[in-house]
Amino acid sequence: MAKLPTLRSLAALATTAALAVLSPAQAHASAIGSTPVATFDYQVGGVTMKVPTGCMFTHIIRGEGKKITYQNAGVDCGFVGALHSGFCNWRIDFTYADTENKTYRTSRGKTHTECKINPLRDNAPQTLPRYGKACAYIHVNGVRRAGQCHHITK
């Protein structure tokens, strides 16, 4: 039994040595987050539109450090949510804030007048000037309905 700790120590030492010889992997970060879109009603041309439960707003971001290589956000609906007429007069905005939560950049999306069940927007790759957070928000008929953020840190 006295040999067991020695064997464990040797195994740990061998593993550490092997990992030290290997080249380090490049650091990349990605984040995916979703938030439910709350049920709401809104008016379009005198017609009341209802968004039921079952829709999720998802924000995806990939990159390294302050460099964003890919970013998109959109809505996916399931169950009863997939049966509604969609989101009309929608837009998706991306915002960037510093570590003190002060927004310094907004990429405002185009307002789409058509109704769409699965609105989606990609944003261009970019390098941020500061660490902080990147957020995506969906607006329907001029009202912010859901948002999702990711922290950008060292």
DSSP string, 63-121: EETTEEEEEEEEEEE-GGGGGS--B-SEEEEEEEEETT--EEEEEPPPPB-S-BSS-EE
| pTM score, whole prediction | 0.78
- Above pLDDT 70, what percent of the chain? 78
For residue 20, the model assigns a pLDDT of 40
Q: Confidence band (pLDDT; 50, 70, 90) for 96?
A: very high
